[in-house]
Homo-oligomer: A and B are copies of this chain.
Amino acid sequence: MTTPDATDVLTRERGGFRTELIAHGWLLPSRTAVLPGLGPQANAVYDGLAALISRTTRARFAAPVTAVRFPPVFSASMLERTDYVASFPQLLGTISSFTGEQSEYRELIDVYDRGGDWQGRLSPTGLAVASAACHPLYAYLEGTTAAGATVYEMTGECFRHEPSDDPMRFVAFRMREYVVVGSEQQARAHRVQGIAIARGIFEALGLVIDVVPANDPFFGRGGAMLAASQLQDEAKFELVTEVYAGRPTAIGSGNYHGTHFGAEFALHQADGTVAHSACSAYGMERIVFALAARHGFEIVDWPPRVRELLGLADVGAVA
């Protein structure tokens, strides 16, 4: 249980961190756009981190790494196929647009000009903002036979409707993922290897890391049961670091999905049985800010080895 005092301390810590990130130009606040942007130093660290993860995974994963890319928007039916609607309805996002004719357009403008509910005049497009970076991969692979001999690399924009003043909690963020689809053994081995690689990268960057069993914040139907089942199966591990004292924040994870996606998307092994899958994930913006929390807000003052790993050894103060 968190006591009210501890909550106050955490709220102050989050507010203080956000203030510092803004003061040093890492976070670009906006009254109108609402979701903040990233400033030059945050961008430079992001780019260096993305390259470091690409290099390291290519050197260390046993199977060859293939880079693919999916847009931040997909069909709303994806939220049905992954049962995201039932598990996380409070986090999903569907997209509406104006699909009417000229006469309805005049009504829309009338409402809009009067400062009325113009959004009420829009209709669902059948599209949604992507809930996870790897979900479109299973849809792309639908109906194929997976040999497990490929590690798919992708960086995806993810949407989670959980607005917060905590700078470590984003509504829109980038997730780098490495996915294997194959036998149970291949999937489980990938999860183990993925966690080891991520831990190695984080520790080389000077972060203090713990690896802990985790569960997702399931909302409704069977939520408590699903969460308990994840923990019991050791299905998900998170790589956590302390940005806020005594409250670890997850910056990466390793997930073994069993046949969850294999069964839904008809992914098979060579012998015709349902394929298993696993992914190793990096919460990119969280890692960038965890590094600022650890090493300070001026990259020029970071440990030389960390700057070198991020390709920022020669960078002076980034404007």
Q: Looking at the complex, which of A13-21, A35-43, A190-198 is the stretch in contact with chain B?
A: A35-43
Please determine whether B94 and A34 come into contact, CB atoms closer than 8 angstroms: no
| A102-149 at interface with B (beta carbon < 8 Å) | 102, 105-106, 108-109, 112, 118-119, 122, 124-127, 129, 135-137, 139-140, 142
| A133-168 at interface with B (beta carbon < 8 Å) | 135-137, 139-140, 142, 157, 159, 161
Given contacts A73-B159, A74-B35, contact A319 B105 (CB under 8 A): no
Please determine whether A171 and B73 come into contact, CB atoms closer than 8 angstroms: yes
Any chain B CB within 8 A of the CB of A11? no
Option from B68, B89, B106, B122 in Cβ contact (under 8 Å) with A39 = B68
Which B residues are in CB contact (< 8 Å) with A86? 109, 112
Any chain B CB within 8 A of the CB of A28? yes
Which B residues are in CB contact (< 8 Å) with A232? none
Please determine whether A71 and B37 come into contact, CB atoms closer than 8 angstroms: yes
Please determine whether B43 and A69 come into contact, CB atoms closer than 8 angstroms: yes
Given contacts A73-B129, A140-B37, A171-B71, contact A97 B93 (CB under 8 A): yes
Please determine whether A125 and B220 come into contact, CB atoms closer than 8 angstroms: no
Please determine whether B67 and A43 come into contact, CB atoms closer than 8 angstroms: yes
